[in-house]
Structure 1
Amino acid sequence: MSKVDAIQAAPPPPLSHWQSTWRYLFAIVTGAGFWITSYYNTYAGQIGALWAIDLLLGVVSVVLMRRRRTNPFLVAMIVNIFGSFSTAASGAVVVTTVSLATRRRWREIVPVAVVGFAASVVFFETHPGAEDSLLFSLLFTVVFVSAVIAPGMYVGARRDLLSTLRERADRAEREQGLRVEQAQVTERARIAREMHDALAHRLSLVALHAGALEYCRNLSDAEVAEAAATTRKSAHLALQDLHAILGVLRTLETDAPPERPQPTLADLPALVQEAIGSGTKVRLHNRVDNLAEPPEAIGRGAYRMIQESLTNARKHAPDTAVDVTLSGHRGGQLVLEVRNPLRLGSAVSLTPGSGLGLLGLTERAELIGGCLEHLKVDGHFVVRAWLPWPA
């Protein structure tokens, strides 16, 4: 099988009324012209049985043209055979052979071309009045068959090219839709992580101080006011975070930036002070000269990891000291560790959680090319992360 045969040819497009009409007009006018000419040249001006059969075969050939798109090979073969006896079938021979050639299948084109070649030679050698030499008949037949098949091959190639271009355009459009959908999914996952990291931290402060107001009956008025103020502030900040996240969800552009800047590692001291102000004992051991130096993605990831670790410590081991250690340098790694003692015998935290915080931190670290581990060591719960810090 040839390379052209191996290619799935594009199906012929439907013909308009005019496109179908002019093909029939061409076959009829061409066949009638040759048939009338043959009356004077071939049949010597005598109306006889052969001339009538010539016309009859031409009419049948034109009728068979209606099936040329559903059975192109069979119709082209029959019409070419009729062409060996009928000048009136000449127009139908051209139309059916061109139609077959548009399929660009040599296993169909070659047999029809051979039959057409033989039919032309038979016509010139057997019809009365045909006095041309055999060499002229052969040359004319070769030129005629080639002139009929070549345009059909060109039309078929152009049709296949247009079909391929349309298919590529449709595939590109589908792939673009998939890329947009994937971008939306990625953005939603990022927003979900931001919601968990930011809102869980704020709302845990609200729950902590609300619980203190509920169970501690001997608080002074100043302590009650301070706890209520901290609760109000945390709730206000949670609403701000929620507003920012909903603003991102309202935007249609997946690459649109958040409405307000996201925290980075440079905001870590403020996070620690906020935690201390809410009653959590936090000690920051910073061995990085400039907290604003790490790339934004690395700094933001480290900030969220520390924030979530402080939230977990506040929920599961309140009233314990939390040590946050940060080290690293450009061209190496940014290493962070959050360590807090395990509180043995304490009640289960009443603050609700998703149970996916540590899983989300691990995924966040992997997304930026780092790794994270959490384990219990010597009575402490430890979260460690190693994040790449490009030079």
Structure 2
Amino acid sequence: MSTDESARAPQDFAGPRWLLPSALIHELSPDTHGAGRRPRRTARDWVVDFSCFLLSVVLGLAAATSLGDEPGLPHGFAVLDQTLGAVACAAVWLRRRWPVGLAVATVPVGLLSNTAGGAATVILFTLAVHRPFRYVAWIGGAQLALIPVFFWLRPDPDLPYAGVVAFTVLLTLTVIGWGMFVRSKRMLMLSLRERAHRAETEARLRAEQAQRLAREAIAREMHDVLAHRLTLLSVHAGALEFRPDAPREEIARAAGVIRESAHEALQDLREIIGVLRTGESDDAGGRPQPTLAALDALVAECREAGMKVTLDHRIADPAAVPASVGRTAYRIAQETLTNARKHAPGSEVTVRLAGAPGDGLTLTVTNPPPRSDVPPVPGSGQGLIGLTERATLAGGHLAHGPTPDGGFEVRCGLPWPRT
């Protein structure tokens, strides 16, 4: 926003009101509310404009009473003086729309008319408030240069020449200086309001970003948890579908796994919905979140579901791993086991876990090529994206890709700081 535009932005002023008449103080109001559009006058604008007009008329009448005291002033010139003064007073109503044009017009008018002095002062103040300094410098400088000429042509009958010139110059400089001060204060207030608005916008964006991150975290948690449970359901339901003649004990065991997985999935879903409703984190209530110590139970659950899982656990004390790091490693292992069960059913999966404080935690999950006689469960690939995001948020990294023998491997490194 340019300097000129900022001065025309709507602002209120709360400065000392004893330095200028209230009509001039209200000149802080802008002269326009939009480029190329005529502003609509409010009741306050009408009051202020009428006050400025009345002030100009009073000063003009006071000057008109002194015209008869000027020696050698022709009657026709006195009539011209008062006519120009009346026109200048009427022009005060237009000072908001054309502050520069009216200020330029008052330069020669002020040289010819003494009664136009009050209107010229009001218009000059309006110019200083609503326009940049370059306009005030040229127009105000011209008025200051013509003051000695005016009093040389029409000397004051009661005051000495030097005194009246000095007083008028000081008054003009005061009006210009006060108008520039008002303009600077308005620009400062506008800058502060813009900064406050920018701070509010940034705070709103941060809140929206926090909400988005929270939704993404909930989506990752829902995917990691429910995908594991629902995959178990799919695998055992598929086994029952393709082997209707299986032994009774195997069918009962598969049905039990289906029932338990469905129960766990519903429980996890209730907890996630509770978090969405209350806005509380998982740590605020509900079942405790899994840590690295629960990895053995996860592998055992997968083995009970019929998976072939080899666990190479090289961490002596899983409880020493920070809870956030352990939870991230558990979720990554859970998702990779789920993916292996979906895309390489019947294959043996190897889970390797190693690390030490200061060296970091390393998790590797590898599965051989899938068997050709078992159809895989289709997937969308969103799980690997969520795992990468989860590892990055934890300060680690995750890489995945096929192995030389046609299998698939997921490698994850997580920070494990020294205590």
Q: Same fold (TM over 0.5)?
A: yes
After TM superposition, list the pairs within 5 Å mapping 1:151-230 onto structure 2.
Answer: 151-230=178-257
Worse overlay, 278-287 or 370-379: 370-379
Distance (whole Å) between structure 1 residues aligned to residue 315 and residue 416 of structure 2: 12
Residue identity matched to 1:373? A
* 1:371 aligned to which of 397, 407, 419: 397
* 2:319 aligned to which of 292, 303, 310: 292
Distance (whole Å) between structure 1 residues aligned to residue 387 and residue 350 of structure 2: 18
Shift of 1:118: 3.0
Shift of 1:7: 7.2
* 2:265 aligned to which of 235, 238, 256: 238
How many residues are aligned here?
383
Per the alignment, in what secondary structure is the counterpart of residue 102 of structure 1? helix
Runs of at least 5 residues in structure 2 that lack an aligned partner in the other structure = 11-29, 31-41
Asked whether the 8 Å contact 1:339–1:383 carries over to 2, the reply is yes
Aligned to 2:52: 23
Q: Render the CA deviation track for 1:137-187: whole Å, top value 9, x for unaligned.
A: 442232122111011011101111111112112222222222222222222
Distance (whole Å) between structure 1 residues aligned to residue 282 and residue 405 of structure 2: 45
Distance (whole Å) between structure 1 residues aligned to residue 339 and residue 4 of structure 2: 62
Distance (whole Å) between structure 2 residues aligned to residue 25 and residue 6 of structure 1: 31
Distance (whole Å) between structure 1 residues aligned to residue 48 and residue 216 of structure 2: 55
Aligned to 1:390: 417
Per the alignment, in what secondary structure is the counterpart of residue 292 of structure 1? helix
Asked whether the 8 Å contact 2:282–2:289 carries over to 1, the reply is no
Aligned to 2:63: 34
Distance (whole Å) between structure 2 residues aligned to residue 337 and residue 138 of structure 1: 93
Aligned to 2:8: 11
Asked whether the 8 Å contact 2:387–2:398 carries over to 1, the reply is yes
Shift of 1:246: 2.6
Runs of at least 5 residues in structure 1 that lack an aligned partner in the other structure = none
Per the alignment, in what secondary structure is the counterpart of residue 298 of structure 2? helix
Residue identity matched to 2:389? E
Q: Render the CA deviation track for 1:75-107: whole Å, top value 9, x for unaligned.
A: 112123322222221221111111111136222
Q: Render the CA deviation track for 1:181-235: whole Å, top value 9, x for unaligned.
A: 2222222222222222111111000011111222222333333222112111111
* 1:113 aligned to which of 118, 122, 140: 140
Change (3 A) 1:24 1:7: closer
Residue identity matched to 2:7? A
Change (3 A) 1:99 1:326: same
Worse overlay, 70-79 or 15-24: 15-24
Per the alignment, in what secondary structure is the counterpart of residue 319 of structure 2? coil
Change (3 A) 1:258 1:383: farther
Asked whether the 8 Å contact 1:39–1:47 carries over to 2, the reply is no
Per the alignment, in what secondary structure is the counterpart of residue 398 of structure 2? strand
Shift of 1:362: 2.5
Distance (whole Å) between structure 2 residues aligned to residue 86 and residue 335 of structure 1: 92
Distance (whole Å) between structure 2 residues aligned to residue 19 and residue 266 of structure 1: 78
Residue identity matched to 1:191? I
Distance (whole Å) between structure 2 residues aligned to residue 49 and residue 282 of structure 1: 115
Distance (whole Å) between structure 1 residues aligned to residue 9 and residue 52 of structure 2: 15
> CA RMSD for the aligned pairs?
2.6
Shift of 1:322: 2.1
Distance (whole Å) between structure 2 residues aligned to residue 213 and residue 18 of structure 1: 89
* 2:384 aligned to which of 358, 362, 365: 358
Distance (whole Å) between structure 1 residues aligned to residue 309 and residue 64 of structure 2: 106
Q: Render the CA deviation track for 1:37-63: whole Å, top value 9, x for unaligned.
A: x1454369x993233222211111122
TM-score where L is the length of structure 2: 0.83
TM-score where L is the length of structure 1: 0.88
Residue identity matched to 1:355? G
Residue identity matched to 2:223? H
